[in-house]
Amino acid sequence: MRIAIKYGTTDTGNERLIDPAGAIHGHQAGPVLVRRLLNLFEPAILIGTERAQVNGYEVLPLDEIDAENTVVINMDVIDSTEVWGVLHTTAAEPKVMNFVWWNASEEYHHLVNQALLGLSFALFPTFANSERTASEVREIVEKWTIPRLADRAELAWSKLGVHLGRVQPRRETTVPVVLYPAIYVHGRKRPWDFIDAVTAVAKRTPLKVEMRLHHKHLTSEPAMEMSTRQWAWVGPLTSTREGYWEALAGTTAFLATATEESYGLGYVEAMVSGAIGIFPDREWVPQLLPEGYPFIYRNLAEAEEMLYRAVTDTDACRAELDELVGGSFVEWVRENHDDTAFEAAMKEAVADWFGWQRLEAINEA
């Protein structure tokens, strides 16, 4: 019995996920999670458009999956009924589960898509990337399905956490570095709020702003606007994971402006690397932080002042965070966002839903 991971085949295509060398390409949340799941359930299968054997994992089209002996973890979710239908042609009871790692209310707005999500969540076990996402899943199920289906919905969740082995030692810079903590400039990320705040701070003190964006967003209006600032660098994502973590190790602070996040992996990765996070007073924020976190703003004026302090009195800000948790704030982040907890919870969910002991026994045979 094996695990198969399905990601991106409904819109992006796995050919964009796998680079010419056979590695999973990209540092955004989706590819990172694909790599984590492939490693967690090794030897796992990646569902793609063509059969291949690359970098220790197998790529198979959906219709070539051994449906009797494979659990499909669907990261697309909205087409789980279609996945089930394909597998059902060769198996009486296909094994399909959902993995929700994004904010459903932001990703899908149309009535048809919302109804499809509700049906998928009700029919197939669902693992969510945070308690907040799990609550949203429950709301969608209750809103879009009948009680008979809603009552049978199975749901588990865990915070994604960070792979701590990739964190690099701090590298302080002469000029403080402020990070735009996203790779997109979608409306919900509120990039113009970020631009307004860092522009105001840049008028008061030297700093460098870094915006590492997905290639599709490099020519966006916010990106072009920021590229005109002498103190700002706007460019593509780092080409390697090592380069990504090296850049975080030299980041002084970041300013979050998003209205909604399902979890916030990028923020956690920056904080565990020692960056000071400035957050908006939004419902998604408390799941990341200890109670009483001091750098939460209610308006852009407060955001400007907090960011100014973070880049001009950095040591004092870090000391305040350490005092808040009664030790090292970075260690608090490490302990509360360790990806080993996520991995254990994911395996436990698969065991509960599909009989993991049976899967282990067959793998060992």
What would the pLDDT profile of 211-222 be if each residue is shown by its tens digit?
A: 999 888 999 999
Query: What is the Cα–Cα distance from 45 to 70, expressed in whole angstroms?
Result: 9
Amino acid identity, residue 91? A
Nearest 5°: CA angle at 352, between 113 and 42?
Answer: 85
Confidence tier at 110 by pLDDT (50, 70, 90): confident
- pLDDT of 361 reads 42
Q: What is the pTM of this model?
A: 0.84
Instruction: Tell me the pLDDT tens digit for each residue of 223-253.
Output: 999 999 999 999 998 878 888 999 999 999 9
Domains and CATH numbers, the chain: 2-160+339-364 (3.40.50), 164-336 (3.40.50.2000)
